């Protein structure tokens, strides 16, 4: 009976602690902010476009890239490194997160795995 009570208390404590877990955004290469995309689809499209434009370096491609970057400004938010986030779901590419602090608090979006700690 005593063991059963301890197990129940341990399960209750673990259950209460799990929602409080948070992660932090991390950057690389001396960056100060992390791009949090509106969705994983937007992130994937951004990666594919950058790869395609990297192959062709023409004047038209550069102008097109500048135009896409201007449009992309609405598709992500730059969030300061070390900002706490809550992981809503994750997969091999990254995680859907909710920002827990700062001026973008409550913003929800997708972060590549390498930008999450």
Query: What are the tens digits of pLDDT across the range 67-92?
Result: 876 776 788 999 999 999 999 999 99
Please report, for the chain, the start and end positions of each structural domain, with discontinuous segments joined by +.
Answer: 22-115
pLDDT at 51 over 90: no
pLDDT category, 16, cuts 50, 70, 90?
Answer: very low
Residue 87: how many other CB atoms lie within 10 Å: 15
pLDDT category, 29, cuts 50, 70, 90?
Answer: confident
CA distances from 11 to 18, 59, 69, 77 (A): 11, 62, 48, 38
pTM of the model: 0.71
Q: Is 68 exposed, middle or buried (0-12, 13-18, 19+ CB in 10 A)?
A: middle
């Amino acid at each position: 009976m005593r063991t059963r009570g301890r197990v129940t208390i341990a399960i209750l404590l673990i259950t209460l602690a799990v929602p409080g877990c948070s992660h932090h955004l991390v950057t690389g290469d001396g960056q100060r902010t992390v791009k949090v995309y509106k969705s994983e689809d937007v992130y994937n499209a951004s990666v594919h476009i950058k790869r395609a434009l990297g192959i062709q370096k023409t004047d038209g491609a550069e102008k097109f890239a500048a135009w896409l970057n201007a449009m992309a400004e609405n598709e992500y938010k730059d969030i300061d490194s070390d900002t706490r986030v809550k992981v809503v779901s994750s997969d091999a590419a990254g995680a859907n997160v909710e920002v827990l602090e700062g001026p973008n608090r409550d913003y929800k979006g997708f972060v590549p795995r390498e930008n999450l700690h």
